[in-house]
Amino acid sequence: MSSEHIMILGVGCTLFSDEGFGVRVVETLEERYAFPDNVSIVDGGVLGTNLLGVISQADQLIVVDAIRNKGEPGSLYRLEGDAIPERIRLKNSIHQVDFLEALTLCQALDKVPQTVIVGIEPEDIETLCVELTPTTLTKVDPVIDMVLAELDRLGVTYSKRI
């Protein structure tokens, strides 16, 4: 088992339909699974650069978010390394730009976590609604599987709640 601090961070605004996808996924993940003490589940909402103190504590960071990539709604994405800044800059949401700035500011603290972003092409991030669209709702489980695959890759043992 890994002793590194691993953080699963859901970001997005739950007031705008699919924009809240990342938060909804981590809520569901926490309801269904139990994790060891070195894994933290964080609802990052739209805190952007205010997350600096939180994310700088992680050695490994798994971010869950809606990712606008001009693809078909429901398309799944996994981003890491140089692909992260490029894709986030293409987003139409302020919180993604702030999140990228927070990751960049981690360099000043000399504590940049290894980061992977998993997510989905949203169908609707503009409608004021606390529910995910049907297309996006069907992708919660596949994205949870993606997060669990990242944990498996990191050697983390977890269990399904009864």
| Chain segment 12-61, per-residue pLDDT in tens | 889 989 999 999 999 999 999 999 999 999 988 766 656 767 787 889 99
Which pLDDT score, from 0 to 100, does residue 97 have?
A: 47
Alpha-carbon span 88 to 19, nearest angstrom: 14
Q: Which one is the CATH code of 6-160: 3.30.300.160, 3.30.420.40, 2.40.10.120, 3.40.50.1450?
A: 3.40.50.1450
In tens, the pLDDT along 80-102 reads 877 665 545 554 444 454 565 55
| Cα–Cα dist 89/67, whole Å | 11
Residue type, 62: I
Query: What is the rounded distance in angstroms from the CA atom of residue 88 to the CA atom of residue 117?
Result: 10
Give the domain ranges of the chain. Answer: 6-160
Give CA–CA dist 122/17, Å, rounded. Answer: 9
